[in-house]
């Protein structure tokens, strides 16, 4: 990966779903890849599938991104490799009332969504600014626009990602580096199987989208330097609701949707 004319992209949660689809799009455009995931077998399979389609160079890293200071470990492993694109895609959900859900699992989710995402950008961003180019795509969610009873920590963490992305995007104007927050609604990915340990509760099927389409939408938005990318007309409408309704009202609506999902 020493050719200065070839750019390198880092993708977390790259073994399946949106991460894999985004990695495919990057490979198609000639990027070299650093693919990170906790699932070794699926990660190697993803690498093999990408290489069947596109002759690029791929580094795989098996990492648990919910571990404290894992971003520093990743950065150290990269050594002197310049990263031109960061896609912070890895994530999972936790369903249930806050007082009943497992704290260890909730803490892992917060470390992954907030601390690892932020730290990874903190470490790699200065090099991007110094080179005068770079793109960052952070996976937020439609959940970022309102509170989410029964998935309180998940919704709050996605709101953080959106707010953080918008703020540093503003700071980076004129540097050649752009930040995009992709805010999809429910998407058919492996995320659905990790929302809850109880498969019967995996009912987040409302307004379900295709991972390939969401990835393409987000990828195009990132390449254009768009700050917020919300795929789907209905999702755009839903993101606008908190502006016209009271926060109390939108919170009640989300609670009804979550209750319906759980009761299905």
Instruction: Tell me the per-residue pLDDT of 205-230, one tens digit each, with 9 for 90 and over.
Output: 445 568 999 999 999 999 999 999 99
CA distance 236 to 231: 7
| Cα-only R_g, the chain | 18
Three-state DSSP at 32 gives: strand
Neighbours of 26 (CB within 10 A): 27
* pLDDT(46) > 70: yes
Three-state DSSP at 197 gives: coil
Angle at 226 between CA 123 and CA 130, to 5 degrees: 35
Per-residue pLDDT at 48: 98
Per-residue pLDDT at 231: 80
Per-residue pLDDT at 185: 81
Percentage of the residues of the chain whose pLDDT score is greater than 70: 77
**Quick check: 242 and 134 in contact, CB under 8 A?**
no
Per-residue pLDDT at 197: 40
* pLDDT(196) > 70: no
Q: How much is the average pLDDT of 188-204?
A: 45
Per-residue pLDDT at 116: 98
Q: Running DSSP on this structure, what letter comes out for residue 249? A: H
Per-residue pLDDT at 195: 45
- Minimum mean pLDDT range among 42-51, 100-109, 218-227, 230-239: 230-239
Paired residues of 35 in beta bridges: 11, 60
**Going by C-beta distance under 8 Å and a sequence separation of 6 or more, which residues neighbour residue 254?**
146, 147, 148, 149, 155
Q: Please name each of the domains of the chain with its CATH number.
A: 8-263 (3.40.50.720)
The tokens of 204 are what? 């987040």
Three-state DSSP at 228 gives: strand
Arithmetic mean of pLDDT over the chain: 87
User: What is the tens place of the pLDDT at every residue in 128-170?
Assistant: 999 999 999 999 999 898 888 999 999 999 999 999 999 999 9
Per-residue pLDDT at 171: 98
Q: Which residues are catalytic?
A: 154
* pLDDT(43) > 70: yes
């Amino acid at each position: 990966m020493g050719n200065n004319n070839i750019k390198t992209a880092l993708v977390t949660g790259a073994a399946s779903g949106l991460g894999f689809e985004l990695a495919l799009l990057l490979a198609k455009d000639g990027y070299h890849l650093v693919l990170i995931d906790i699932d070794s077998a699926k990660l190697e399979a993803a690498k093999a599938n990408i290489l069947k389609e596109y002759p690029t160079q791929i580094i795989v890293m098996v990492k648990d991104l919910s571990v404290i200071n894992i971003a520093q470990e990743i950065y150290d492993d990269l050594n002197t490799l310049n990263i031109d694109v960061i896609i912070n895609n890895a994530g999972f959900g936790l369903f249930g009332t806050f007082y009943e859900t497992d704290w260890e699992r909730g803490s892992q989710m917060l470390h992954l969504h907030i601390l690892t995402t932020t730290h990874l950008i903190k470490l790699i961003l200065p090099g991007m600014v110094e080179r005068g180019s770079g793109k960052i795509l952070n996976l937020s969610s439609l959940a970022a626009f309102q509170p989410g009873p029964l998935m309180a920590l998940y919704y709050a963490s996605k709101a953080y990602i959106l707010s953080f992305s918008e703020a540093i995007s503003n700071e980076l104007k004129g540097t050649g580096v752009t930040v995009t927050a992709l805010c999809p609604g429910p998407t058919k990915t492996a995320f659905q199987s990790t929302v809850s340990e109880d498969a019967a509760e995996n009912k987040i099927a409302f307004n379900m989208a295709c991972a390939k389409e969401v990835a393409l939408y987000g990828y195009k938005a990132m390449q254009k330097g768009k700050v917020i990318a919300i795929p789907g007309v209905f999702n755009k409408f839903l993101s606008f609701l908190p502006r016209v309704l009271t926060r109390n009202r939108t919170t009640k609506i989300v609670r009804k949707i979550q209750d319906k999902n759980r009761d299905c």
